[in-house]
């Protein structure tokens, strides 16, 4: 009995496989016929002036001409004499500090970012709400405030 059941399943699977193959062939022929008739039925996409895919042609009035020389790949080259002065010292306010645990947080006055500060990175003793000057250094979980001193 198991042998006849197995044979029945095999024949059913074969029928399904042949049916899928026929459907695939019909779709292929339909696409070929549509292409000969002028492309009806073929999905076509355009790229608009923002770089998004759309189904309507883009407005030629919004076309922007770009010179190949203006495209910069990688890091832009620095021009001599155009050297930026970067001040590593930042100012902020101590939002929280616990001496018993040995750490706290400083909020940068420019961008309101919160930075971790450890007691080992202190020059002066600090308390909450003190105005401080500090430098940033990459730590294990992000940027850390180091060389912290009161203003």
pLDDT, tens only, 3-52: 556 678 888 999 999 999 999 999 999 888 877 766 555 567 888 877 78
Question: What pTM did the predictor assign?
Answer: 0.44
Nearest one of 89, 78, 67 to 148, comparing CA atoms: 89
How confident is the model over 69-116, as pLDDT tens digits? 888 788 767 766 555 556 688 999 999 999 899 999 999 998 999 999
pLDDT in tens, 52-67: 888 888 777 877 788 8
Domain annotation for the chain: domains and CATH numbers: 90-150 (2.40.50.140)
pLDDT score of 147: 93
More confident position, 147 or 65: 147
Residue 142, token pair as written in the block: 């992000």
Average pLDDT score, the chain:
84
112: left (phi over 0), alpha (psi -120 to 50) or beta: left
pLDDT at 146: 94
Q: How far apart, in Å, are the Cα atoms of 148 and each of 107, 109, 141, 145, 151?
A: 12, 14, 19, 7, 10
């Amino acid at each position: 009995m198991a042998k006849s059941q197995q044979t029945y399943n095999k024949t059913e699977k074969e029928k399904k496989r042949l049916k899928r193959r026929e459907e695939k062939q019909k779709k292929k022929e339909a696409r070929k016929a549509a292409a000969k008739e002028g492309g009806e039925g073929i999905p076509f996409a355009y790229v608009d002036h923002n770089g998004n895919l759309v189904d309507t042609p883009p407005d030629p009035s919004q076309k922007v001409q770009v010179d190949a020389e203006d495209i910069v790949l990688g890091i832009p080259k620095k021009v001599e004499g155009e050297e930026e002065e970067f001040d590593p010292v930042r100012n902020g306010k101590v939002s929280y500090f616990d001496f018993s645990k040995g750490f706290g947080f400083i909020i940068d006055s420019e961008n309101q970012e919160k930075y971790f500060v450890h007691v080992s990175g202190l020059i002066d003793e600090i308390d909450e709400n003190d105005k401080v000057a500090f430098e940033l250094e990459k730590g294990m979980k992000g940027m850390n405030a180091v060389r912290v001193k009161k203003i």
